[in-house]
Amino acid sequence: MKNITTLVLTLFFTTVIFSQQKNDWENPNVNQINRLPSTATFYNFENESQALAGEREVSKYYKSLNGDWKFSWVANPADASKTFQEVSFDASSWDVIDVPSNWEMKGYGTPIYTNSTYPFFNDYPFINHHDNPVGHYIKSFEVDASWRDKDVILHFGGVSSAYYVWVNGKFVGYSEDTRLSAEFDITKHLVNGKNKVAVKVFRWSDGSYLEAQDHWRMSGIEREVYLKAIPKVRLNDFTVRTDFDTNYENALLQVRPKLIANIKNKYVAKIGEFGNTNLKTTVDNWELITELRDAEGNKVGESTTTKFKKIFGEFYPQRDNVYFGLIETEVKAPKQWSSDNPYLYTLLFEVKDDKGNSIQHTSTKVGFREVKIDERGRFLVNGNPVKMIGVNRHDHDHINGKTVSRVDMEEDVKLMKQFNFNAVRTSHYPNDPYFYDLCDKYGIYVMDEANLETHGVRGLLSNVPEWSNAYLERAVRMVERDKNHPSIVIWSLGNESGTGPNHAAMASWIKEFDSTRYIHYEGAQGIPSHPDYKKNFFQHGKGNPSDSPWVDMISRMYPQPAELQALIDDTAEFKHIPVLMCEYAHAMGNSVGNMKTYWDVIYKNDRALGGYIWDWIDQGILRKDENGKEYYAYGGSYGDTPNDGSFCINGIIASDRTPKPEIYECKKVNQPVVITAVNTLKGEFEILNRHHAIDLSKYDLYWNITENGKVIQQGNVLSLNTKPYKTSKLRIDFKKPKLKTASEYYINIQGKLKENELWENKGYVVFEEQFKMDYKVAQPSTLKSNRNLIVSETKSLINVSNTYVSLEVNKTTGYISKYKINGANILKTPLKLNFWRAETENDEAYRKSMKLESELDWMKAGDRLKIKNTTVKSDEKGKAVIRVEGVIENPKADVNLTYTVLGSGEVKVDYNTIIDNGAPNAPRIGMTFDISKNFGKLKYLGKGPQANYSDRQYGSHIGLYSGKPENINYKYVYPEEYGNHTGTSWFSLLDIRNKGIVVKGDQPINFSVISYGIDNLQEAKFLNELKERDVYTVNIDLSQQGVGGDNTWSHRAQAHEAYLNKPGTYNYSFYLVPFNSKVKPERIKF
C-alpha cells in the first residue's frame, strides 16, 4: 500500500511540475489554449442550391486568408518580438511571405531531413532555447457586414509546430499538432473595418517529440488559413453513418447532430435531463431538417424534421449508451460506395428558427458503405472481400516542401487510380481534409493515421502517463474531424512509437466512438501472456505471434514474401484476423523487385489484406548549383545535421510527380483483370475479374498479333460482362499468320476504358496481357560472305579487314579495339568484359550489412583480364575467327572470347566465363563499349517501354520501341544503375542518315544505352554531378542481378536467390551488324 501511495503521489507531483512550467511549448499537459473542439469539415451557405453544389468559394460566409502575410524570422525565442501583435506595431519593414508555405522553402532557416533521429537535442519535453527558430506572421483583413450577427471562426489547416494567435492585440489561443486543423472563436475580438491577426510560430515544441516521422522537418503555416461565419444558433457538428440490412439491399441513413446555441454570447451546451425535470431552452422549437440527394440532385427518400428539444434533451442512460441513430432515414436500394464505384450522395442540412426562417444551410457527402471482417479474416466492403493495394503517402512538393496544392493532391489520387492502386495510408499524420474529399470522390480506401511517432525515443513516451492526454487528443481530434468520409475504412494510431497504455487509451476511445471502422497499429506486437511469447523479439516482418487485443489486424513492416506466408501460417489460431503489411517494397532508388512474388502470396490467402508500398513520392527538393544546373536535394544538402541522406528518396513517383519505372510493375501486378491462356494458338483464354463491386462492362477488349514487334492482325471483343471474382471463357478469333523464317509471334490483349472516368479518359489501358505464340518457324540459314578478308598480325594486334570492314583486336587486352565500317570507327572505346553496375542503393545496403565488400572487386575486373593465348584463323570464304583465352585473378574467373568476322561486316562474339566457386556474386555478366552520341536514334525489340530487370519485368512486354536514350531512360535522384531492358532480341543505334549498328543476341539479352560513364554514376551523389559526354555507354549483357528492395538497410535489400549471378559457368553470344546490312536482324546467324 505504501508503494502504491508513493507512486500516486509521484505521478501527481510530476503532473503539477509539468503544468507549472513556464513555456506552454515545453509542457506535454498544455496542447491547446482556447482551441475549439474538433468537428467534421463543412461549410455554410446562403441557400440550398449553394449547399448542394458545395463550393465553399461561392459562399459569403467563407473568406480565405491565404496569400501575402508580413513575416519576420528569428533564430531563437529570446529574440522573438513581444509586441508585434499590438495594433500599433509597425511591420512595414518586414518581409512578405506566402501562406501557406514552409519558411525554410522561402529562405529562412534550414530544412532538415531525418528518418528517426530527433533533429534537436533530446531532452523531452524540453527544447534547446538556442536552437528553436520563431516566425512572426501578420495579416490584415476585413469581414463582411453580414457577419456581424454571427460567430466568426479562424481556421488554421496546419502549423508546424506550436503557435500563439492574437487578433487586434488580444490573445486568442494556442495550439500544437502540426498536421491537424485548429479553430478559434475570434468573434469578440473583431472590430468594424480593418482587423489584424498575428501568429507566433515555434519551430520545435514538446509536440515535436510526437512527430518524429521519416520526412523533411519544416516549419511555419503550411496549410490553408480561412475565416468562416456561422450562425450563433447552429448545427455545429454531425456524425453520419450508413447501416445496411443483412443482404446489403436497403440501408438506414443515421445522423447524430451536435447543436450550439450561443444566446447573448453564452453557449448553451447539451441540456439533458436532471432528475424528473425536463430542462428547456429558448430554441427548443427550432428545427433541423435533413434531405438526401443523389448525384444528379434528385431527392432520395423522405426528408426529416427534428425539433431542437429532441436533440438537446436526449436522455443518457445509467448503463449502456444512447442509440446512435438520433435521426434515421430508410433508403431503399441505395447505390453503394466502393473503390470500384465511388457513388456519392449529398446530405443537405437546414436549420430553421421557431418562426420558420431559414438560419443555416450546409451539406456533406455520403457514401453508403459498410466494412466488416468476417470469420475467415477477410476484409469486406459491403459484403465483398477486398485487398488493400496501397501506398504510403507523405505530403510533399518538390518546390514548396510540406505545402501541397489542391491540384497536386488531385494529381496524386488520379495517378493512384491510373496505376491500379485502391488504398492509401496517410503516413504518418492526418492529411488536409480536401485529400479525403478526393478519396471519397475517386474511390480510394484510406487508412487515416494519427500524427504520432516517437521514433527517437522508441516506445518510452507511450508508457509515460504525463503524455497520455497528448496521445489521446491526437486520436480524438483526427477521428472527430474525419469521421464522415466513406473512404476512411481504418483508423491508425500512429507509427513506430513502441506500444503502451497510451495507445490502448487511444484505441479504446475510438472503438467506443466509432464501431463502424477498424483499428491498426503496427507497434502493438506481443502479448506477454501468450504461451509462445518471445522476450525482446523485435524483428521486422516477424514479431511475436499475437498482437494487442485493441488492434483489429496483425500488421508488420517489410516481411519478405516467404515471411509473409509464414506469418499467415504461424498465426492460424487467429484465423479471423487479417494480416497486413503497413509498409513493404522499399522503393529507394532503382528498386521494387519481387512485387509479383509478394502479391502471389496475398492473392492466394484470404487473410492477407494487402500492403502499402513505402512510399508514394520521392521527397526531393529542386535546387540549382552555382552553375545553374538543377538537381534534387535530400538530407544533408542544406548542411542540415543530423540527416539521413537520400533515405527520403524512395517513391514510386518522382518528386515532380513523374511516374518512375517501378510504378508500371505495380500497375501490372495489381491490374483488376487477369487473363490466362488455355490454348494460345487456338485463341482460347480465361478472364478473371478481380474487381469486387463491378462487372467488366466498363471495358473494351482489344487484341493484336505482332510479328517481330510489328502488328500484323488486330481486333476487339465486343462485350465483357464477367461478374466480380468470377472467371469466364474468352475466345479470340484470329487467322494463323503466314509464318516467316526466324520470326517470333505474340498476341497482346488490352482492356481499355469504354467511357471517360474522373481519373482518366476513354481508351486508357487499365489491364493488359501478352502471350507468346509458339509456332514452329523455319530457322535462318547460316550467313556467308562473298568478300574476302585480309588478316594481319603483329606482336600486339590482330587486324582483319577488307575495303568495307576493319576489325582490330588488342592482343594485350584481348578486346576488340576498333570496328570500322566504310572507314568509320563504331567503337569509341574497346568492347570489353563488364561484371559491374553502378551500385544501386539496395546494393550498397546489402553489401554493408552482409559485409560483402568483396563484390567491389568486380568493379574493374574487366580491366584485369590477363591473356594466356590468342589465335586467328581465316578461310577463303570471307570469314575469320579470333580466339582469346584469359584469366582474371581476383575475383577468379576463366574467360574465353571468340570473335567471328565476316567480310560483309558482321561480327559474332561468343562469350564464355567460368567464375570460381570462391568468388563473390557478380552484379552483371556482359560486355560494354562507348559509341558516339551521333548514333542517338535507339530502336529495340525487347521488353519495355520502361526499364526492367530480372525481378521487375512482369509489367514490361515484348515490343518494338524507339526514342533517344536521354528521353526513354529514367535517371534516379541518387545516381546509380539505370535503363536496363531484359528479353531483348536486338537493338540498333543510328545517326541522322540512318547509318549505324545493330546488336542482336543469339538468345534474349539485356541491354542499356546510357549517357554517363559507369565510374561517374558510381561516384556521383547528385544529378548535377553527372558529367555530360559526347558518347553513350552501351551494355550488352547475358544477365544482371535483380534490383531487390524488400528493404534498403539490411541483407533483405539484396535480390532474391533466383536473381543473383552466382559462381558458375556463363555462355552467351551476340552479333554486331552494320545497319546497312541487307540481312534482317532476326535472320542473322553464323
Interatomic CA distance for residues 299 and 347, integer angstroms:
10
| Residue 496 falls in the annotated catalytic set | yes
List, in sequence order, every residue forming a beta bridge with 211; answer none if it has no partner. 453
Non-local (6+) Cβ contacts of 64 within 8 A are 57, 224, 225, 226
Q: How far apart are CA 228 and CA 585, in angstroms?
A: 43
Instruction: Tell me the sheet residues that pair with 153.
Output: 185, 228
Q: How far apart are CA 767 and CA 667, in angstroms?
A: 8
- Round to whole Å and give the CA distance between 452 and 467: 12
DSSP string, 457-502: GTTSGGG-GGGHHHHHHHHHHHHHHHTT-TTEEEEE--SS----HH
One DSSP character per residue, 756-767 reads: -BTTB-TT-EEE
Written as one letter, the residue type at 432 is D
CB of 453 closer than 8 Å to CB of 207: no
The span from the CA of 259 to the CA of 278, in Å, is 18
The C-alpha R_g of the chain, in whole angstroms, comes to: 34
Nearest CA to 833 out of 784, 789, 894, 880 is that of 894
Which has the closest alpha carbon to 491: 448, 435, 442? 448
State the Cα–Cα distance between residues 798 and 874, nearest whole angstrom.
Answer: 12
Q: Please give the Cα distance from 471 to 493 (Å, whole number).
A: 9
**Which phi and psi (to 5°) does residue 313 adopt?**
-95, 15
Interatomic CA distance for residues 987 and 1001, integer angstroms: 9
Alpha-carbon distance 384 to 371, whole Å?
9
**How far apart are the C-alpha atoms of 955 and 668, rounded to whole Å?**
5
Indicate which residue of 291, 480, 496, 976 is catalytic. 496
With beta carbons less than 8 A apart as the criterion, state whether 112 and 216 touch. Answer: yes
Distance CA 974, CA 631 (A): 10
SS3 content of the chain, % helix, strand, coil (to 5): 20, 35, 45
| In contact, 136 and 90? CB cutoff 8 Å | no
Give the CA angle between residues 123, 126, 132 to the nearest 5°: 105
Place of cell 445522423: 255
End-to-end, the C-alpha distance of the chain in Å comes to 94
Is there a catalytic annotation at residue 55?
Answer: no
Residue 1031, amino acid: V
- Beta-bridged to residue 156, according to DSSP, are 182, 225
Query: How crowded is residue 741: how many other Cβ atoms within 10 Å of its Cβ?
Result: 12
The residue from 583, 665, 769, 839 that is catalytic is 583
Q: Nearest CA to 979 among 1003, 950, 1010?
A: 1010
In whole angstroms, what separates CA 166 from the centre of its chain?
A: 38
**H-type alpha helices, 911-976:** 965-968
Q: Which helix (H) or strand (E) holds 414?
A: helix 406-418
With 0-12 CB in 10 A as exposed, 13-18 as middle and 19+ as buried, what is 277? exposed
> Helices marked H in 695-792 — which ranges?
none
In the sheet where 162-167 sits, what is the strand order? Answer: 32-33, 170-176, 162-167, 195-202, 134-141, 67-74, 95-99
User: Judging by DSSP bridges, how do beta strands 488-492 and 518-520 pair with one another?
Assistant: parallel
Which residues face 883 on adjacent strands? 871, 898
State the catalytic residues. 496, 583
